[in-house]
Structure 1
Amino acid sequence: MAVALTSVWNVKSDEDAIYEQDILRDGSGSIKPWLSYIDLKLQHGNSHEQAFVLERACSQLPRSYKLWKMYLDLRAKHVAKLNPAIYCKEYSKVNSLFERALILLNKMPRIWEMYLSFLQQQPLVTHTRRTFDRALRALPLTQHNRIWALYRPFANAASGDTAIKIWRRYMQVHPEDAEDFVELLIEMGRYTEAVEQYMGILNNPRFRSKEGKSHFQLWSEMVELLVTHAPNIETGDGVGVDVERIIRSGIERFADQRGVLWAELGTYWLTKRKPEKARDIFEEGITTVATVRDFTIIFDTYVESEEYSIGNLMDAAAARSGKDVLDEDADFDLDIRMMRFEQLMDRRPFLVNDVLLRQNPNNVTEWEKRVSLWGDNMREVVQTYTDAIAAIQPKKAIGKFHELWANYAKFYEKGGDMRNARIIMEKAVRVPFKSVAELAEMWCEWAEMELRNENFDKAVEIMAKATQAPKRSTVDYFDDTLNPQQRLHKSWKLWSFYVDLVESVSTLEETKKVYERIFELRIATPQTVVNYANLLEENNYFEESFKVFERGLDLFNYPVAFELWNLYLTKAVDRKIGIERLRDLFEQAVEGCPPKFAKVLYLMYGNLEEERGLARHAMRIYERATRAVSDEDRFEMFNFYITKSASNFGLTSTRPIYERAIAALPDNEAKDMCLKFAEMERRLGEIDRARAIYGHASQFCDPRTSPGFWSKWESFEVQHGNEDTFKEMLRIKRSVQAQYNTDVHFIASQAIARSQQQLSESRNGDSREGEGDERADAMAALERQARAPQGFVPASTGPEGGNTSREDKAIPTNPDAIDVDMMDDD
């Protein structure tokens, strides 16, 4: 111990004696004396002394992680500012120190991180890579992430095969970072391997993009890589990437992106400098896609490629012409490409039509467009019609399928080939169309074709065949479980055409048979009844015409029956049949007639009695009408009744009518009726009766909403009344106003009106600010006028007369008495 202490003291200064003695006294198992000693040197010693003490500490305690870390930090920091290429020996010493530390501390990830970070500062790529590999082998799997965090940047910096091999190892542990690997491969120009990585990503259903990219986005990136770098991607049988197979699988997988993918595949072959192969791809694309959007994408790309190719050939031809050099093969190639391009542009309408028909082969309109595209090409037109009829399913047809058949037959008809036209029509009427209406249209088209060719008998024969039916048919026209052929005989459209045809080209008897058959099948419409009746009337079968109307009235109820009665009664009256028979008809018409249709019938009935019957009967009919018509027509009917009664029996005969009208009509109409009644009594000189009517009507008239009524009563009193009657009128007016002031509904309506008025005034307050004083003055004047009417002159002359002044009037002692100012203060 003395010898050792002496040797130490030979090296150290006296100030370190205390720490050295503590180390010797403590032995070799404690780290505390060493840490105190190291702390002293770190504060007051130089780098050599610090390194010497740390070296001794690590030698004595080789398994101390803390001492080694302090030592390694010191040595690494010491050489950090030195150039690793020039001072490679110094760096090598530190590397050896790290290796010594890792002999016993190889499970410490922090030591490995320090060592690896230190190695990355030196130009030792291979040694650094191998050290990374040693670290991964030495540490447990749970600690590998700390190493890979340094290893990946090192790999990216190293580049080349080293980087790729490192990343391949990394991908085995962390496949979720495949996108970063792909970016590295693309940067390094390893496109084939980048595509293979994309394929691995897309085939892995568990892969989730760190950048949030969808499956299709990754697919699009891969396709873009394939197309952009097509010459640099290895392809072949069993070697590299089968680009066409990949893109075709995407076409099947992503139905909404087929146009884009077909265009990308064609562009790929253009990039590979194989234009013929690209042209085949484009042709396949535009003839297989099912949407116009996809077609447009492919076609535009196709056209651009052709234009680019033609442009290059034209530039080459121009260069040759400038040098007077002839190249017949190149010129021939240019002509071929120009011709092919023109054909492509001419085919575009047909190709678009093909797309729409592939999308829905049951689209009748598109088939018609295809026929029109062929123009005068008869062979193609016939082939198109044939294809359309074979492709369209009648129950699923979109559009008018029967028109396609009709146009097909008209095509042969225009060519003068009636035989084939009839064959087509015969086939068409056996087609199970969606509806009976279409089948009926088909039969009518056939008959019209025969009429255009003046085969009238043939047309009638065709329609007779179409309308064949059992004597008593129980078939329901709307029964969709039966095919249209079974329900055809119930089609009104078919029978209507048939009866018009027979009426035009056949006899009256034949026409009558058709009409009778329509009635037997119970498919007659109001128009059928009218047409049949008019036909019989034109041929002077008046009674039979009336019977047709009666049969129609048995078939139809109101409101249809009203129109039939209107026509029937008009014709019967014009025919001047017996009055008793006419009365029976009118009684039948008004019996059970809804109120809204009764007015016209009663007026016709009353007019008949006035012209051919008795006025007393007419008045009785008009009186019935006032009870039978609807509320909307009752006021007008009473007015008409009053007018007729006055003209026939004098004004006095209208009194009971007025009284019943006032009792039956609603308040607003009763008010008007009262005014007319009062005016009539005034003209008759019955002033008291007129005044009583005004008093009765006052209960319907609020002074604020019906000022016209009160002004008329006031003028009436001015002309025919006296002071007492005028006062009574004012008393009634105030009473009615007070009554309306307590009416709940009236108060609510007035409150709403006032709120709306206030809102309107607030919006227009600025513009009406100057009118406020004028409005107040006007309201005050109206109030004064209501209290004291001006210019009143009583009709009678009493002791008071009409000239009593305000000063001569005594103040009434009764507070409820009415004070009427007879003269204006002015």
Structure 2
Amino acid sequence: MAWKIDELIDDSDLVYERDLARDANQESIWLDYYNHKLAKHVNSPETKQTYRELVFVLERAVRQLPHSHQLWSRYYEVIGEPDETASQKQIQLFSRIYERATANSSELDAWLVYLQFLTEFCNYEVTLIRRTFDKALLAVNSKYHYHIWKQYVKFADSVGGPTAAAIYKRYSQYIDPEILAKKSLETNFPTSIEVQSLYDFIDKFKELGAQSEVRNIYEQLLASPEKYKSLGTPLKFLQEYIDFLSKREEEENFDIQEKSSLIESLILQAIQLDPENLGEIYKGFSRYLQTPNVSIDARYYFEKGLKNCLTVRDFEIIYRLYTNYQEEKLVQLRDDIKKYPTEDSYSIEFNFRIHCLETLIDNRPILLNDMSLRQDRNNLDAWFKRVDIYGENLNQILKVYVSAISSINPFQAHSASGIEANKLSKIWIDYASVYASREDYSTANLIYSKAVESQFRDLDELAELYIQWSEMLLQSNFDDADSRSLSVIEDVLLKKFDPDLDKHAKQSVQFRIHRSTKLWMFYLDLLESFIEDKDSTSEIEKVIKAYDKMIEMKIATARTIINYAQFLQSWKYFEKSFKVYESGLTYFKDSEVRYHIWKLYLPEILQRENIGIERIRDLFEMCLFGNENDVGIPAHLSKDLILQYFQFEKGKGFLMNSIRILKSGIQKLRKEWSEQNVSRNVRNNLAIDKFDLYKKVFETIGILQDTDETRNAYESAVQDDSLTLPQIIEVTNSFINFEKSLKQLDRVRALFKFVTRLSAPDAIIMKQVWEAWEQFEVEYGSEATFKDMLRFKRTVVEEYARNELLKNSLNPMGFVKSSTGPKVSSINASEESEPQKVNEEANPDQIEMDMDDL
């Protein structure tokens, strides 16, 4: 039905028409005209007529002003939105209107309405929709593109295929590269995928089958690894790329040869990039080799991997993959031989592969050793292991020694497993021994001459080289073997070094070798081996000069001194040997060392019959009772020598002097026992030693049969607070027996009173004492004395009970403070009852007073 102009314009509209006639480009006139029409027919029931009039005004308006967003907005309000019931004709009408509205518009809303309409009602028009999205992106300001891409990627997911891949490719170019380079980021892009990084696009392109786009992204990652470092390392990109190429289907424009070349180049890049993780790289490579139509021979790459891996794990991975690869090739060739029996090339290759596999298996130990040396060429264990691998292959062993000597840094050489024997010097020695064992002593001599010029971390290594060199020369077939052997050592030990040498030279082992005690001791053994009898005075003098030189250089050890003295004694130079002992005593300040020297020196001098008594006494006095800071020894080491001195005096008939020595020894031990810094173990040993000396005193005094001396000795012992409770009880029992033998019964009772108060009566160790007292009273006492003993026992029991109650009341936790007054050690007392200390009423002085009153 045609629209009539007189039906669309009435008299009230003329004022707007006149204004438009004067200036039709005024948007406000058109809007006023539209509002006039809208208000005029607000209550009009003729809806269709109203629609026509409004469309009439707006159609003219947008034709006149096609860029007016407000006019097009009014137009959209009038025509409304299509719904599911809209006909194809209506859809085409809406499409034309939306297209006209956006043709010259940069307004986002207009484009969004059009794009929403197309994706909802014209989704079959894929090309039209894609081009419309592209136009929208060109027309709208870029800061609003997010809203367009939101619909665009949704459309891409709905259509899929190459179109979707193209859309996502463009979408990836739109997103800020900094966003794509980050591992995780909350973005304002709520699309059908969560945009986190390039990896999200990789997954999407894999899903869409856009293999070339995946390759492009990986190449982008590898081209700028620094830019995408938050996503991973270049090695990670390479490994993923190799895995992708190994698993994916072929593209029409990407042939097998091109793919193989690409993977090979990626493998080489990965190997060069991270040789420490070759195992993982080769896993991906192995997966590629298992794909169909792979024509490359991977032996080169596997062998390269075995020669470059740095860990046992990587070695085992690559070795296993390599052997599997070779076995699979053999299976394939065997099938080909069965299929083509007349084709010789398959049999030739099969035999070649068999040889390669056997060689690979045979060479596994040496290949693994190569890996160990790549890890650390200064690891001596690996070099000695390499020698063992080659077994009897002399040529290879010699090559190992040459390679080790030229490769190892002497200052970094070490045994990773801590094997003491594995030293750099041993490599030199073993190298020379190969020639020496075949009597090629000239070559062995040359090797040793070069070896001693090398540097070593430890002085003993260089010393060992000189020792082995000298011993080799002794066994050689040279006419002057002995002199050569001796000359090798003397040249270095007796050589005078220039004191003006630079600091670096003075730090070398060659500068310090003349101070090697190990080498000097070998030199002395060598010199002594040349002495045939006592007439070899020149050789003996040479040994003496060597020992004196060591002492002069202050490198002599205690063993050196002892060996020197014993050497002199063996050739009857006794006085010289004594002087050596004495020089050792002044040379060494350590008490243990002095003790061992005295222990050897004193018996030697006692054996000499021409030594005067006074000289021997002076030596013993110097050792035992002289100034310890001079040449004496401490008390805890002196018991054996005190007894030796005692035996000497006793053997000479000086009995009183021998007793004096024992008493002086006891005082020496008591003094050290009372010092603050003495350890418990030493203090215990001192108590034992002192008790042994006391027993020796009692035994010796008994020979004299001097009552006063014997009694004084016993009284001194029982009052010694360094003795243990069992020791005091034992001494008191002996004292009691002595007094009983003299019929001094009151003294015996006084001793029983003393000893029974040393600990609680119910202690196991005290029960025997009380029983002994009872037995004594039965044999020697009376009813009155027996009752006195019982009363005394009750007193002691009550006293200990009171003390126990007092302690418990003062200390409810049960801890007991040590008692005051004279102390008696109770180290070996019974565990059932802790022995108490002597209280003030039973102090040792009381014994003497009681006995003096008798």
TM-score by length of 1: 0.75
- 2:430 equivalent in structure 1: 407
Cα displacement (A) at 1:158? 3.0
Name the residue aligned to 2:325: 305
Whether 2:679 is the aligned partner of 1:656: answer no
1:361 match = 377
| Equivalent residues in 2 for 1:333-344, closer than 5 Å | 333-344=349-360
Matching residue within 340, 343, 357 for 1:327:
343
- What pairs with 1:555-570 in structure 2 (closer than 5 Å)? 555-557=587-589, 558-570=591-603
1:351 alignment partner, SS class: helix
Deviations 1:102-133 (A, max 9, x none): 57986244871674365255311011112222
Paired position in structure 2 for 1:788? none
Structure 1 pair 458/745, CA: closer, same or farther in 2 (3 Å)?
A: farther
1:688 paired residue number: 746
The answer to whether structure 1 residue 580 and structure 2 residue 614 are counterparts is yes
459, 471, 475: which one pairs with 1:448? 471
Q: How far did residue 569 of structure 1 move?
A: 1.3
Distance in 1 separating the partners of 2:304 and 2:807 = 85
Pick closer, same or farther for the CA change 1:254–1:51 going to 2, 3 Å: farther
Where do residues 194-213 of structure 1 align in structure 2 (5 Å cutoff)? 194-202=214-222, 203=224, 205-207=226-228
SS across alignment from 2:638: helix
Structure 1 residues 204 and 453: alpha-carbon distance in aligned structure 2, compared to 1, 3 A threshold: closer
Tell me the SS of whatever aligns to 1:287.
helix
Per-residue deviation, 1:226: 3.2
Cα deviation digits, residues 226-281 of structure 1 (max 9, x gap): 34449658489999995444443333333432343356457657869666652222
Structure 1 pair 215–288 and aligned structure 2 pair: CA distance change class (3 A) = closer
Distance in 2, Cα, partners of 1:269 & 1:499: 69
On the 8 A contact 2:649/2:655 being kept in 1, the answer is yes
Higher relative contact order structure (alpha carbons within 8 Å, sequence separation ≥ 6): 2
Compared CA separation, residues 458 and 668, structure 1 to 2 (3 A): same
Partner of 2:187: none
Compared CA separation, residues 90 and 185, structure 1 to 2 (3 A) = same
Counterparts of 2:653 and 2:173, CA distance in 1? 114
**Alignment equivalent of 1:222, drawn from 215, 218, 241:** 241
Cα distance change on mapping 1:198 and 1:276 into 2, 3 Å: closer
Which segment is superposed worse, 437-446 or 731-740?
Answer: 731-740
CA RMSD of aligned residues (A): 4.4
Helix, strand or coil for the counterpart of 1:395? coil
Query: CA–CA distance in 2 between the matches of 1:407 and 1:452?
Result: 16
Structure-2 separation of matches of 1:462 and 1:147: 96
Determine the C-alpha separation between the residues in 2 that align with 1:105 and 1:699.
Answer: 121
Amino acid at match of 2:299: R
From 369, 380, 395, the equivalent of 2:396 is 380
Aligned to 1:153: 154
Q: Matched residues in 1 for 2:640 and 2:497: separation? A: 39
* Structure 1 residue 483 corresponds to structure 2 residue 508: yes
State yes or no: 1:728 paired with 2:792: yes
Distance 1:244 1:50 in 2: 76
- What percent identity do the matched residue pairs reach? 26
Once the two structures are overlaid, the 10-residue window that deviates more, 688-697 or 109-118, is 109-118
Cα shift at 1:620: 0.3
- The counterpart of 1:186, out of the listed 195, 206, 231, is 206
| Unaligned residue ranges in structure 2 (runs of 5+) | 11-31, 59-68, 181-196, 415-421, 674-684, 778-784, 818-854
Partner Cα distance (1:455, 1:661) in 2? 73
| Mapped pair 1:549 → 2:581 | yes
**Cα distance, 1:296 vs. partner?**
3.0
Shift of 1:652: 5.5
Q: Is the 8 A contact 2:275 2:309 kept in 1?
A: no
Q: Alpha-carbon deviation of 1:66?
A: 8.5
Superimposed CA distance per residue, residues 648-699 of structure 1 (whole angstroms, 9 cap, x where no aligned partner): 4366633222332333324744753664366336634444334433444456
User: Against the structure 1 CA distance between its residues 717 and 457, is the aligned structure 2 distance closer, same or farther, given a 3 Å change threshold?
Assistant: farther
What is residue 440 of structure 2 aligned with on the other side? 417
SS at match of 1:466: helix
Supply the distance in 2 between the matched residues of 1:112 and 1:642 (Cα, whole angstroms). Answer: 123
Greater shift after overlay, 596-605 or 289-298?
289-298
Matching residue's letter, 2:530: V
CA distance in structure 1 between the partners assigned to 2:334 and 2:48 by the alignment: 81
Matches within 5 A, 1:96-175: 96=96, 98-99=98-99, 107-109=107-109, 112=112, 115-116=115-116, 119-120=119-120, 122-174=123-175, 175=177
Distance change >3 Å, CA 663–CA 110, structure 1 → 2: farther
| Closer, same or farther: CA 567–35 of 1 in aligned 2, 3 Å | farther
Is contact 2:276–2:310 with CA below 8 Å preserved after alignment?
A: no
Residue of structure 1 in register with 2:623 after alignment: 589
Q: 1:314: Cα distance to partner?
A: 0.9
Once the two structures are TM-superposed, the CA of residue 471 in structure 1 deviates from its matched residue by: 8.8
Please tell me whether residue 395 in structure 1 is matched to residue 415 in structure 2.
Answer: no
Q: Is the 8 A contact 1:266 1:278 kept in 2?
A: no
Q: Find the counterpart in structure 2 of residue 350 from structure 1.
A: 366
1: CA distance, partners of 2:653 / 2:482: 52
Identify if the C-alpha distance between structure 1 residues 173 and 307 changes in structure 2 by more than 3 Å, giving closer, same or farther. Answer: same
Does the residue aligned with 1:559 lie in a helix, a strand or coil? helix
For 1:98 and 1:589, locate their aligned partners in 2 and report how far apart those are by CA, in whole Å.
122
**Residues 1:680 and 1:238: Cα distance change in structure 2 (over 3 Å):** same
Shift of 1:328: 1.8
Q: Distance in 1 between matches of 2:775 and 2:77?
A: 127
- Structure 1 residue 347 displacement after superposition: 2.4
Structure 2 contact 276–311 (Cα < 8 Å) conserved: no
Residue 733 of structure 2 corresponds to residue 676 of structure 1: yes
CA deviation map 1:424-475 (0-9, x unaligned): 1222222222222111111111122234447696245423432344599999
- For 1:605, give the aligned amino acid: Y
Other structure's SS at 2:522 match: helix
Cα deviations across residues 498-543 of structure 1 (Å, max 9, x unaligned)? Answer: 2222322334531452243223232332222333333333344433
3-state SS of paired residue (2:35) = coil
636-645 or 120-129, which deviates more: 636-645
CA distance in 2, matches of 1:77, 1:620: 132
Where does residue 765 of structure 2 map in the other structure?
708
Distance 1:719 1:637 in 2: 29
Length, aligned pairs only: 712
The residue type equivalent to 1:337 in the other structure is R
In structure 2, do the counterparts of structure 1 residues 157 and 220 end up closer, same or farther at CA, with 3 Å as the change threshold?
A: farther
Tell me the residue number matched to 1:533. Answer: 565
Counterpart position of 2:660: 620
Give CA-to-partner distance per residue, 1:349-371, whole Å, 9 cap, x none.
22222222233333333233333
Q: State the secondary structure of the residue aligned to 2:814.
A: helix
Residue 604 of structure 1 and its aligned partner are, at CA, apart by: 0.8
Shift of 1:743: 5.3
Following superposition, the deviation at residue 563 of structure 1 comes to 0.8
Q: Offset of 1:561 from its aligned partner?
A: 1.1
Residues 747/689 of structure 1: CA separation in 2 closer, same or farther (3 Å cut): farther
User: How far does residue 88 in structure 1 lie from its aligned partner after superposition?
Assistant: 4.2
Alignment partners' CA distance in 2, 1:65 and 1:671? 124
The 10-residue stretch of structure 1 (254-263 or 145-154) with the greater mean CA deviation from structure 2: 254-263
Provide the secondary structure at the position in 2 that maps to 1:251. helix
Structure 1 unaligned spans of 5+: 7-25, 42-48, 80-86, 754-826
Tell which deviates more after alignment, 538-547 or 674-683. 674-683
